[in-house]
Amino acid sequence: MIKEKSIEGLSSFGVVDEASTPILYHYCSVDTFLAIIQNKCLRLSDINTMNDFHEMHWAYNKFIAAANADLANYDRKFLDEIDTVLSGLQLSSLPLIGCFSRDGDVLSQWRAYADDGAGVALGLDTSLLGRLAVRFGQVVYDETEQLEYFRKFLSFAQAIWKATDSKPELRGEFKEFLFILAFDSCLMKNPAFSEEKEVRLIRATIVEMLKDGRWSLRDSEGSSEDTRSNEKQQIRYRARKGGIVAYIDLPLDGLGPRLVKEVVLGPRSLNNGIEVSMALASQGFEGFEVRHSTATYR
Protein backbone atom coordinates (compact mmCIF):
# COMPACT_ATOMS: atom_id res chain seq x y z
CA MET A 1 0.00 0.00 0.00
CA ILE A 2 1.23 3.51 -0.79
CA LYS A 3 1.63 5.66 2.27
CA GLU A 4 2.47 8.86 0.44
CA LYS A 5 4.08 9.80 -2.83
CA SER A 6 4.96 13.26 -4.13
CA ILE A 7 3.49 14.40 -7.42
CA GLU A 8 5.26 17.14 -9.32
CA GLY A 9 3.58 20.45 -8.48
CA LEU A 10 1.06 18.73 -6.18
CA SER A 11 3.18 17.37 -3.35
CA SER A 12 1.83 19.92 -0.87
CA PHE A 13 -1.82 18.92 -1.36
CA GLY A 14 -3.36 17.87 1.95
CA VAL A 15 -0.02 17.95 3.79
CA VAL A 16 -0.41 18.33 7.56
CA ASP A 17 1.81 21.04 9.02
CA GLU A 18 3.10 19.36 12.18
CA ALA A 19 4.64 22.60 13.47
CA SER A 20 1.32 24.47 13.52
CA THR A 21 -0.75 21.38 14.35
CA PRO A 22 1.19 19.36 16.95
CA ILE A 23 -1.99 17.67 18.24
CA LEU A 24 -4.89 16.09 16.36
CA TYR A 25 -8.19 15.44 18.13
CA HIS A 26 -10.53 12.49 17.81
CA TYR A 27 -13.98 13.36 19.18
CA CYS A 28 -15.62 10.28 20.67
CA SER A 29 -17.73 8.85 23.48
CA VAL A 30 -16.12 7.78 26.75
CA ASP A 31 -16.69 4.14 25.74
CA THR A 32 -14.75 4.67 22.51
CA PHE A 33 -12.00 6.57 24.34
CA LEU A 34 -11.51 3.63 26.72
CA ALA A 35 -11.53 1.13 23.84
CA ILE A 36 -8.79 3.10 22.04
CA ILE A 37 -6.45 3.43 25.02
CA GLN A 38 -7.02 -0.09 26.36
CA ASN A 39 -6.79 -1.91 23.02
CA LYS A 40 -4.26 0.60 21.62
CA CYS A 41 -6.07 0.57 18.28
CA LEU A 42 -7.81 3.17 16.16
CA ARG A 43 -10.85 2.17 14.13
CA LEU A 44 -10.83 2.98 10.40
CA SER A 45 -14.22 2.57 8.72
CA ASP A 46 -15.72 2.47 5.22
CA ILE A 47 -15.59 5.98 3.74
CA ASN A 48 -19.06 5.50 2.26
CA THR A 49 -20.60 5.49 5.73
CA MET A 50 -19.28 8.91 6.84
CA ASN A 51 -21.60 11.80 7.71
CA ASP A 52 -21.21 13.41 4.27
CA PHE A 53 -23.33 11.34 1.86
CA HIS A 54 -21.51 12.99 -1.05
CA GLU A 55 -18.11 11.50 -0.10
CA MET A 56 -15.95 10.79 -3.18
CA HIS A 57 -18.71 11.99 -5.53
CA TRP A 58 -17.75 15.56 -4.61
CA ALA A 59 -14.16 15.00 -5.72
CA TYR A 60 -15.22 13.16 -8.89
CA ASN A 61 -17.47 16.09 -9.87
CA LYS A 62 -14.51 18.46 -9.40
CA PHE A 63 -12.42 16.16 -11.60
CA ILE A 64 -15.05 16.37 -14.37
CA ALA A 65 -15.24 20.17 -14.00
CA ALA A 66 -11.44 20.46 -14.30
CA ALA A 67 -11.41 18.25 -17.41
CA ASN A 68 -14.20 20.29 -19.04
CA ALA A 69 -12.42 23.55 -18.24
CA ASP A 70 -9.42 22.50 -20.36
CA LEU A 71 -11.15 20.04 -22.68
CA ALA A 72 -9.37 21.29 -25.82
CA ASN A 73 -5.99 20.41 -24.25
CA TYR A 74 -6.71 16.71 -23.78
CA ASP A 75 -6.89 13.70 -26.04
CA ARG A 76 -10.34 12.06 -25.80
CA LYS A 77 -8.77 8.60 -25.54
CA PHE A 78 -6.73 9.82 -22.57
CA LEU A 79 -9.81 11.12 -20.75
CA ASP A 80 -11.74 7.92 -21.49
CA GLU A 81 -8.89 5.80 -20.12
CA ILE A 82 -8.63 7.95 -17.00
CA ASP A 83 -12.35 7.52 -16.41
CA THR A 84 -12.18 3.76 -17.02
CA VAL A 85 -9.26 3.26 -14.63
CA LEU A 86 -10.84 5.43 -11.93
CA SER A 87 -14.15 3.54 -12.23
CA GLY A 88 -12.22 0.28 -11.93
CA LEU A 89 -10.41 1.50 -8.84
CA GLN A 90 -13.73 2.25 -7.16
CA LEU A 91 -14.72 -1.38 -7.73
CA SER A 92 -11.38 -2.87 -6.70
CA SER A 93 -10.40 -0.71 -3.72
CA LEU A 94 -12.29 0.56 -0.68
CA PRO A 95 -10.80 3.34 1.48
CA LEU A 96 -11.19 2.94 5.24
CA ILE A 97 -10.68 6.15 7.18
CA GLY A 98 -10.19 7.53 10.68
CA CYS A 99 -11.18 11.13 11.34
CA PHE A 100 -9.46 13.80 13.42
CA SER A 101 -9.80 17.54 13.87
CA ARG A 102 -7.15 20.24 14.20
CA ASP A 103 -9.35 21.91 16.84
CA GLY A 104 -10.09 20.17 20.13
CA ASP A 105 -12.99 22.31 21.33
CA VAL A 106 -15.71 22.94 18.72
CA LEU A 107 -19.34 22.82 19.86
CA SER A 108 -20.67 21.26 16.65
CA GLN A 109 -18.07 18.50 16.97
CA TRP A 110 -19.03 17.84 20.57
CA ARG A 111 -22.68 17.51 19.61
CA ALA A 112 -22.14 15.37 16.51
CA TYR A 113 -19.32 13.01 17.47
CA ALA A 114 -18.77 13.01 21.23
CA ASP A 115 -21.99 11.71 22.77
CA ASP A 116 -23.70 15.12 22.56
CA GLY A 117 -20.93 16.74 24.61
CA ALA A 118 -20.62 14.01 27.25
CA GLY A 119 -17.57 12.43 25.62
CA VAL A 120 -13.99 13.57 25.06
CA ALA A 121 -11.64 14.87 22.38
CA LEU A 122 -8.63 12.56 22.45
CA GLY A 123 -5.57 14.56 21.41
CA LEU A 124 -2.82 12.49 19.77
CA ASP A 125 0.69 13.49 18.73
CA THR A 126 0.59 14.51 15.06
CA SER A 127 4.17 13.51 14.31
CA LEU A 128 3.61 10.01 15.72
CA LEU A 129 0.38 9.50 13.77
CA GLY A 130 2.33 10.38 10.64
CA ARG A 131 4.41 7.21 11.11
CA LEU A 132 1.45 4.90 10.58
CA ALA A 133 1.01 2.87 7.39
CA VAL A 134 -1.75 5.11 6.04
CA ARG A 135 -2.25 8.09 3.75
CA PHE A 136 -2.14 10.90 6.28
CA GLY A 137 -3.66 14.14 5.04
CA GLN A 138 -5.57 17.31 5.80
CA VAL A 139 -8.97 17.71 4.15
CA VAL A 140 -9.11 20.51 1.58
CA TYR A 141 -12.42 22.42 1.47
CA ASP A 142 -11.52 25.23 -0.92
CA GLU A 143 -13.16 24.54 -4.30
CA THR A 144 -10.63 26.62 -6.23
CA GLU A 145 -7.78 24.60 -4.74
CA GLN A 146 -9.59 21.35 -5.54
CA LEU A 147 -10.07 22.34 -9.18
CA GLU A 148 -6.47 23.50 -9.49
CA TYR A 149 -5.30 20.14 -8.14
CA PHE A 150 -7.16 18.25 -10.85
CA ARG A 151 -6.05 20.63 -13.62
CA LYS A 152 -2.39 20.09 -12.67
CA PHE A 153 -2.97 16.39 -12.22
CA LEU A 154 -4.53 15.96 -15.67
CA SER A 155 -1.72 17.87 -17.34
CA PHE A 156 0.96 15.74 -15.71
CA ALA A 157 -0.97 12.48 -16.20
CA GLN A 158 -1.39 13.11 -19.92
CA ALA A 159 2.38 13.58 -20.29
CA ILE A 160 2.94 10.14 -18.73
CA TRP A 161 0.13 8.62 -20.83
CA LYS A 162 1.66 9.89 -24.09
CA ALA A 163 5.09 8.59 -23.07
CA THR A 164 3.68 5.06 -22.74
CA ASP A 165 3.48 4.84 -26.55
CA SER A 166 7.26 4.67 -26.79
CA LYS A 167 7.85 3.31 -23.30
CA PRO A 168 5.26 0.61 -22.47
CA GLU A 169 6.99 0.01 -19.14
CA LEU A 170 5.46 3.30 -17.96
CA ARG A 171 1.96 1.76 -17.97
CA GLY A 172 2.48 0.59 -14.42
CA GLU A 173 3.60 4.05 -13.35
CA PHE A 174 0.54 5.57 -15.03
CA LYS A 175 -1.84 3.32 -13.07
CA GLU A 176 0.11 3.98 -9.88
CA PHE A 177 -0.32 7.67 -10.53
CA LEU A 178 -4.09 7.24 -10.75
CA PHE A 179 -4.08 5.23 -7.54
CA ILE A 180 -2.60 8.29 -5.81
CA LEU A 181 -5.44 10.35 -7.28
CA ALA A 182 -7.94 8.03 -5.62
CA PHE A 183 -6.23 8.63 -2.26
CA ASP A 184 -6.14 12.40 -2.69
CA SER A 185 -9.82 12.44 -3.68
CA CYS A 186 -10.56 11.24 -0.14
CA LEU A 187 -9.15 14.57 1.07
CA MET A 188 -11.70 16.74 -0.73
CA LYS A 189 -14.99 17.74 0.85
CA ASN A 190 -17.83 20.18 0.52
CA PRO A 191 -16.83 23.54 2.12
CA ALA A 192 -20.00 23.31 4.24
CA PHE A 193 -17.96 20.93 6.45
CA SER A 194 -14.97 23.27 6.82
CA GLU A 195 -15.66 23.97 10.50
CA GLU A 196 -14.55 20.41 11.25
CA LYS A 197 -10.94 21.17 10.19
CA GLU A 198 -10.59 17.49 9.43
CA VAL A 199 -7.45 15.41 9.06
CA ARG A 200 -7.78 11.84 7.83
CA LEU A 201 -5.94 8.56 8.12
CA ILE A 202 -6.73 6.56 4.96
CA ARG A 203 -6.05 2.89 4.41
CA ALA A 204 -6.81 1.22 1.07
CA THR A 205 -8.33 -2.25 1.19
CA ILE A 206 -8.72 -4.63 -1.74
CA VAL A 207 -12.13 -5.65 -3.10
CA GLU A 208 -12.23 -8.98 -4.93
CA MET A 209 -14.88 -11.07 -6.62
CA LEU A 210 -14.18 -14.74 -5.95
CA LYS A 211 -14.59 -17.50 -8.53
CA ASP A 212 -17.90 -18.65 -7.06
CA GLY A 213 -19.39 -15.15 -7.31
CA ARG A 214 -18.88 -14.14 -3.68
CA TRP A 215 -17.31 -10.80 -2.79
CA SER A 216 -14.30 -10.46 -0.52
CA LEU A 217 -12.56 -7.53 1.17
CA ARG A 218 -8.99 -7.80 2.46
CA ASP A 219 -6.35 -5.50 3.86
CA SER A 220 -2.94 -5.03 2.28
CA GLU A 221 0.49 -4.69 3.83
CA GLY A 222 1.82 -1.21 4.43
CA SER A 223 5.21 0.43 4.18
CA SER A 224 6.07 2.89 6.92
CA GLU A 225 8.25 3.56 9.94
CA ASP A 226 5.76 1.76 12.17
CA THR A 227 6.07 -2.00 11.69
CA ARG A 228 2.95 -2.85 13.71
CA SER A 229 0.58 -0.92 11.43
CA ASN A 230 2.35 -2.35 8.37
CA GLU A 231 0.88 -5.77 9.11
CA LYS A 232 -2.26 -6.95 7.36
CA GLN A 233 -5.28 -6.42 9.59
CA GLN A 234 -8.44 -8.48 9.84
CA ILE A 235 -11.46 -6.89 8.18
CA ARG A 236 -14.38 -6.82 10.59
CA TYR A 237 -17.98 -5.68 10.26
CA ARG A 238 -20.42 -3.88 12.51
CA ALA A 239 -24.03 -2.78 12.25
CA ARG A 240 -24.87 0.93 11.92
CA LYS A 241 -28.40 2.23 11.46
CA GLY A 242 -29.46 -1.02 9.82
CA GLY A 243 -26.44 -1.17 7.49
CA ILE A 244 -23.23 -3.21 7.60
CA VAL A 245 -19.96 -1.28 7.91
CA ALA A 246 -16.49 -2.69 7.17
CA TYR A 247 -13.63 -1.61 9.43
CA ILE A 248 -10.18 -2.45 10.73
CA ASP A 249 -8.69 -1.71 14.13
CA LEU A 250 -5.28 -0.24 13.27
CA PRO A 251 -2.62 -0.94 15.95
CA LEU A 252 -1.21 2.11 17.75
CA ASP A 253 1.01 0.28 20.23
CA GLY A 254 4.10 0.80 18.09
CA LEU A 255 3.91 4.59 18.64
CA GLY A 256 4.98 4.58 22.27
CA PRO A 257 3.74 5.91 25.65
CA ARG A 258 3.66 9.58 24.61
CA LEU A 259 1.13 9.21 21.82
CA VAL A 260 -1.60 10.85 23.90
CA LYS A 261 -0.79 14.54 24.33
CA GLU A 262 -4.08 15.83 25.70
CA VAL A 263 -7.64 14.89 26.53
CA VAL A 264 -10.35 17.54 26.40
CA LEU A 265 -13.43 16.74 28.49
CA GLY A 266 -16.71 17.55 26.78
CA PRO A 267 -18.98 20.34 28.08
CA ARG A 268 -21.44 17.76 29.43
CA SER A 269 -18.82 15.35 30.76
CA LEU A 270 -19.51 13.62 34.07
CA ASN A 271 -15.76 13.18 34.67
CA ASN A 272 -13.58 15.61 36.61
CA GLY A 273 -10.38 14.61 34.83
CA ILE A 274 -8.89 12.46 37.59
CA GLU A 275 -10.60 9.32 36.25
CA VAL A 276 -9.32 10.03 32.74
CA SER A 277 -5.79 10.55 34.03
CA MET A 278 -5.90 7.29 36.00
CA ALA A 279 -7.23 5.35 33.01
CA LEU A 280 -4.44 6.65 30.76
CA ALA A 281 -1.73 6.00 33.36
CA SER A 282 -2.98 2.44 33.87
CA GLN A 283 -2.36 1.77 30.17
CA GLY A 284 1.20 3.10 30.26
CA PHE A 285 0.61 6.55 28.77
CA GLU A 286 2.61 9.47 30.12
CA GLY A 287 3.27 13.17 29.54
CA PHE A 288 -0.38 14.05 28.77
CA GLU A 289 -2.66 16.85 30.00
CA VAL A 290 -6.40 16.84 30.75
CA ARG A 291 -8.56 19.95 30.44
CA HIS A 292 -12.22 20.91 30.19
CA SER A 293 -14.05 22.30 27.18
CA THR A 294 -14.78 26.02 27.32
CA ALA A 295 -18.18 25.50 25.65
CA THR A 296 -21.16 26.39 27.88
CA TYR A 297 -23.49 23.69 26.63
CA ARG A 298 -25.85 21.48 28.61
In a domain, 18, yes or no: no
In a domain, 8, yes or no: no
In a domain, 56, yes or no: yes
Q: How far is CA 245 from CA 97, 113, 241, 248, in A?
A: 12, 17, 10, 10
In a domain, 48, yes or no: yes
Q: How many domains does the chain have?
A: 1
Contact 146, 191 (CB under 8 A): no
Contact 186, 202 (CB under 8 A): yes
In a domain, 10, yes or no: no
In a domain, 1, yes or no: no
What is the full per-residue pLDDT of the chain (298 aa) written as tens digits?
A: 333 344 555 667 889 999 999 999 999 999 999 999 999 999 999 988 766 556 678 888 998 899 999 888 888 888 888 887 777 777 788 899 999 999 999 999 999 999 999 999 999 999 999 999 998 999 999 999 999 999 988 888 888 888 887 787 777 777 777 777 778 888 999 999 999 999 999 998 989 888 888 999 999 877 777 888 999 999 999 998 888 999 999 999 999 999 999 999 999 999 989 999 999 999 999 999 999 999 998 8
Contact 250, 201 (CB under 8 A): yes
In a domain, 245, yes or no: yes
In a domain, 7, yes or no: no
Facing residues of 87 across strands?
none
Task: Give the domain range for residue 198.
Answer: 23-292
